[in-house]
Amino acid sequence: MLSLALHTLRSRKGAFAGAFAALLCAAALITACGVLLETGLRGHVAPERYAGAPIVVGADQQLHWTKHKKHKVKTKSKPLTERAWLAADVADRIAHVPGVTKVVPEVTFPAQTAHGKAQGHAWASAALTPFTLATGREPRADGEVVADARAGARPGDTITVLATAAPRTYRVVGVTAQTTPRQANLFFTEQEARRLAGRPGQVAAIGVFPASAAPAVRAALRGTPAELYTGRDRGSLEFADASKARVTLVSMGGALGGTSLLVAILVVVGTFTLTIEQRRRELALLRAVAATPRQVRKMIGREALLVGSGAGLVGAAGGLFVARWLRSLFVGHGVMPPNLGLVLSPFPMAAGLAATMLAAWAAARLSARSTVRIRPAEALAEAAIERRRPPVARTLAGLVVLAGHVTLLAVLRALDVEAAATPVTFLAVVLGAFAVALLGPVPARAATAVLAVPLRLSRVSGHLAAANGRAGTRRLASIITPLTLAVGMTCTILFAPATVADAATRQAREGVRAEHVLAGRVPGAAELGRLPGVRAVTAMVPTSIRVGEGKYAAQGVTPAGLTRTIDPGVRAGSLDRLGAGDVAVSTTAAGHMHARLGTELNVTLGDGTPLRARVAAIYGRGLGFGDVLLPYGVVAAHVDDPLPRQVLVAGGSADELRRAVARYPGVRMSPAAQAAGQRNSTEVNLVIMGLIIAFTAIAVVNTLAMATAERSREFALLRLVGTTKRQIRGMLRLETLSVTLTGVVLGTAIAVGTLSAYGAGMTGSARPAFPPLAYLGVVVGVAVLALLATAVPGRLALTVHPPEALGARED
C-alpha cells in the first residue's frame, strides 16, 4: 500500500496541492506559537542600565501565594504590575558586608521632554552602566541635568522636563558618551532625583561591586525582602515589564497555538474530504477488485502522512520566520521589550511537524470512513450516483457537536472575565463550523432549494448552476465549511473587542458629569481647581490590584467632589466619603470577591504593598471606570508613574483650561473620557488572530480551486452539447455566489450567536457590535476571494479541448 500511495501522490499532484498548502500553513502557525510559548517560559532580558554592575540588589518583583490543598502545599507566583522598591537603609547594610568595595543606590522615575520619553536618575548611579561624560561636567545644582547622547543637546542648552511633578526647565551641563538601546536617560543631582522619584527613604535598586562578594551579600540579606540579581537576571529587575511580557507570550502562544490546531484540523478535514470525494471512482474500483477496507484505510493514511510530513517540514521551518515577524510586531506595539530575544530550539518545530502529521492522518481517516465501508458489489454504483442521505453516524456526530456548540454558548454567557471568555469564544466558533462540516449536506440541500428560483432567472447559466447544486450537495458542503469558518472566525475576531469597547465607551460617556476632559500625563491637577468657575477636579491614575489571586483593573481618583465629575452607577453605599481605608468596587468585581457593602478586603497594590480596605460603595459601570476605585493618594504612592492619565473638570471655561495646560507637553483636551478598560490596545490581538483569518482565507481559496479544477470533464461535456464558454463562466460565478451566500449566512449566524453570548457575559448586554462597514468589508472580501479562486482554475479548465478533456484520465 505504501508504493500505491506514492504512485497516487505522483499522479494526482493537483488533488493533494490544497491539502499540502493547508498543512504547511498549520505547521508554520503551530511552530511560531511554540516559539512564542518557549520564549515566555525560558526567555531572558539583557540588562542595559545595570550592565556594568556585577551584582544588583532589588525587591522581589513577584507576588507569592501559598495554597494548602489536602496534604500538599503549593506556591504560586505572579509578576507585580508596578516596581517594588527597597528601604534605603539596605544599602548601608550591604556596605558593611566583607568583600564589598562599592555600593551604588539607584532611584528611577519617568521623565518626558520635547525629544520624547526618558528615565530619570541620580548622577551617582551612572556607574551602574557605566556612563561617562563626553563633554561638560556632572550636575551640582538642582537646576542642572546631564543628558545622554541620543538627546541631541549640548552643554548650555535648556530643556523642559516633565517628571512626576510640575514641569521644570533645567540647564544641560554635560552629555554622556554612551546611550542605551531601549531608553533615553537624564541625570540629576541626588537631591533632585529623590524629589522627583517621590519615594522618600526608598531606592529602586542597589549596585554592588565586585562580583566575588555575591555569596556574602546573599547571606547578609537572608530573611529580608531584598533579592540578589546577577547575570541575565539583572535585566528582569531593570525592565519591570519583562516578566509581564513573558506571561503575555505564554498566554498568547498557548491560546493561538490551540486555536490554530483546531482550525487546522477543521480545514484539513474539509480539504481531504474534497480530495477523497474527487477520487470516489478510483477508490470504488479498488474495492471492486477486492481491496479490503483496512487496505484502503492504510493507503489513505499513508498518503496523508506523506503529505503531512512534507508540508510539516517546510511549514515548521517557515514558522521560525513567522515567529520573528510576530516578535517585531510585539516590539513595535510595546508588548515585548526589544532586548527579549526569541528562544529557538528544536521543540517547537518538532511539535509543529508532529501536530501536522497527526492532523493529516486523522483528517484523512475521518474523511474516508464512509467510502471504505462500501461493499465491493456496490462500490462503482456508489461512485456513479451520489447519496441523497448523509450517513447516520455523521449526522449523529454533527448533532452532538452542535449540542456542544450550544452548551459553550450557555457557558459563555456566564463568563465575565476576558481571560476565560476569549478562548471559549473561539472554541465555540470552531465547534459551530465543525457542526456545519458534519451536517453540511443538509444546509447545502436547503440552500440549493431556496436559491434555485432566483438562479433560474438566468435561462442557461442559472439553470445549470441550480442543477449542479442539486446534483453535487456533498461537493457544495465541502466548500461551504471553509467559507462558514472564514466568516464566523473573522467576524468574531474583529467584533469581540468592539463589543466590549462599545460597552465601555458607552458606560464612560454616560457616567461622566464633567464638562471638560484632559488627557495625557497631566500635572498640576490641584491648580486647575482654582480657575474661575471650576466646581470640581478629579484626577485619575490607572493601576491594577489583587484581591486574593484575582487581578482587577483599578483607578486612583481624587475623592473631593468626585460625584460632581463622575457617576459610575452606584448601586449601594456612597462615593462622597472615599477615605484612605476605603474602596469602591464594581458589581462584577464584588461578585468575584464575594464582597458586600462594608466588607473588609485584603488588597495588594501594584507594587506588592498590602492594604486593608473597606467596601464603601458598589457601582454598575465597571467597564467604563474600572473594577475598583481607590483614593488617588493611595494609588499614586505605589505606581511607577504617579501623574494622572486624565483629569475631569466640572465647570470652568475651555479656553482657560487650554491656556492653563499649554505648558504641559503631551496634554490635550479630549472630547470624551477614556474608558478604564480600554487602556490596552487591541491591535496586537487583532494582528495575531489575523493569522487565523489568513489561514481560513487560504483554506477557502484551496477548496474552491480544487473543486473547480477537477471539473474539466464536466465543462468539456457541456461545451460538446452547445454550451458556450461565457455561459459556463456565468454558471461558475452564480454557483460561487450561491455557495458564498450560504457560507456568509451560516458564518454570520455562528458569529452573532457567539458574540451575543460573549457580550451578555462581558458587558451584561446580548447586543453585539457589528459595524456595518466592517461587516460589509468581510462579506465583500470573502466573495472576492471565492470568485477569484473559481475564476482562475475555471478559465484554465476551459482551455482544454473538449475531446482531450473527455479522453483524459481522471488524474
Q: Is residue 115 located within the same domain as residue 210?
A: yes
Tell whether 220 and 84 lie within a shared domain: yes
Residue 326: per-residue pLDDT: 84
Mean pLDDT on 80-104: 91
- Is residue 802 in some structural domain? no
Average pLDDT over residues 138-167: 89
Q: Which residues contact 346 (CB under 8 A, 6 or more apart)?
A: none
Rounded Cα gap, residues 756 and 766, in angstroms: 4
Asked whether residue 633 falls in the same domain as residue 623, the answer is yes
pLDDT score, position 679: 46
The string of DSSP codes covering 77-130 is EEE-SS---EETHHHHHHHTSTT--EEEEE--EEEEETTEEEEEEEGGGGGGTT
- The beta strands (E) that lie in 328-481 are given as none
Domain count, the chain: 3
Q: How many Å apart are CA 375 and CA 364, to the nearest integer? A: 20
Collapse the DSSP code of 141 into the 3-class scheme (helix H, G, I; strand E, B; otherwise coil) and give the result. Answer: coil
Instruction: Quote the radius of gyration of the chain (alpha carbons, Å).
Output: 32
Residues pairing with 537 in the sheet:
649
Identify which of 104, 105, 242, 128 has the alpha carbon closest to the alpha carbon of residue 185. Answer: 128
Q: With pLDDT > 90 as the criterion, what percentage of the chain qualifies?
A: 30
810 pLDDT band (50/70/90 cuts)? Answer: very low
**Is 432 a domain residue?**
no
The answer for residues whose C-beta is within 8 angstroms of residue 708's C-beta and 6 or more apart is 732, 789, 790, 793, 794, 797
Query: Quick count: other Cβ atoms within 10 Å of Cβ 65?
Result: 13
**What is the average per-residue pLDDT within 567-575?**
92
289 and 365 share one domain? yes
| pLDDT value of residue 133 | 92
- Full domain range(s) for residue 566: 513-671
Residue-wise pLDDT for 214-255, tens only, equals: 999 999 998 888 899 998 888 888 887 777 778 778 877 777
Are residues 59 and 33 part of one domain? no
Residue 723 covered by a domain? no
Q: Are residues 162 and 220 in the same domain?
A: yes
Whether the predicted pLDDT of 507 surpasses 70: yes
Residue 677 lies in a domain: no
Which domain-ending residue is among 217, 239, 261? 239
What is the per-residue pLDDT for 727?
81
CB atoms < 10 A from the CB of 539, how many? 25
pLDDT range class, residue 811, cuts 50, 70, 90:
very low
Q: Check: CB of residue 206 under 8 Å from CB of residue 89.
A: no
Instruction: Note whether 81 and 167 are same-domain residues.
Output: yes
Q: What is the pLDDT, as a whole number, of residue 86?
A: 92
pTM: 0.80
Closest to 59 (Cα-Cα) out of 79, 76, 42: 79
Give the single-character DSSP code of 801: -
Q: Do 36 and 62 reside in the same domain of the chain?
A: no
- Average pLDDT for residues 384-395, to the nearest whole number? 64
C-alpha cell at 89: 537603609
526-556 pLDDT tens trace: 888 888 999 999 999 999 999 988 899 999 9
Q: Averaged over 104-119, what is the pLDDT?
A: 89
For the record, the C-alpha cell of 368 comes out as 474516508
199 plus 311 within the same structural domain? no
| Residue 645 in domain | yes
CB atoms within 10 A of CB 365: 16
- Tell me the mean pLDDT in the region 496-521: 89
Q: How confident is the model at residue 10 (pLDDT cuts 50, 70, 90)?
A: low
Q: Of 351, 367, 383, which marks where a domain is finished?
A: 383
pLDDT tens per residue across span 702-747: 777 777 767 777 777 777 777 788 888 888 888 888 888 988 999 9
Q: Which pLDDT value is given to residue 649? A: 92
Can you count the helices (H) and strands (E) in the chain? Answer: 28, 25
Q: Would you place residue 269 in the very low, low, confident or very high pLDDT band (cuts 50, 70, 90)? A: confident
Mean pLDDT within 25-38: 86
Evaluate if residue 683 carries a pLDDT over 70. no
Query: Is residue 719 a contact partner of residue 725, using CB atoms and an 8 Å limit?
Result: yes
Count other Cβ atoms within 10 Å, centred on residue 123.
24
Confidence band (pLDDT; 50, 70, 90) for 5? low
pLDDT range class, residue 589, cuts 50, 70, 90:
very high
Q: What is the mean pLDDT of residues 490-505?
A: 87
Both 322 and 217 in one domain: the answer is: no
Q: In the chain, what percentage of residues exceed pLDDT 70? A: 88
Look over the chain and give the mean of its residue pLDDT values, rounded to a whole number: 83
- The pLDDT value given to residue 281: 67
In a shared domain, residues 132 and 264: no
Which pLDDT does position 593 carry in this prediction? Answer: 92
Residue 82 domain flag:
yes
Indicate whether 395 belongs to any domain: no
Domain-ending residue, one of 619, 654, 671: 671
CB 751 within 8 Å of CB 488: yes
Interatomic CA distance for residues 282 and 656, integer angstroms:
83
> Would residue 433 count as lying in a domain?
no
3-state SS assignment for residue 591: helix
User: What mean pLDDT comes out for the span 183-201?
Assistant: 92
Same domain for 219 and 164:
yes
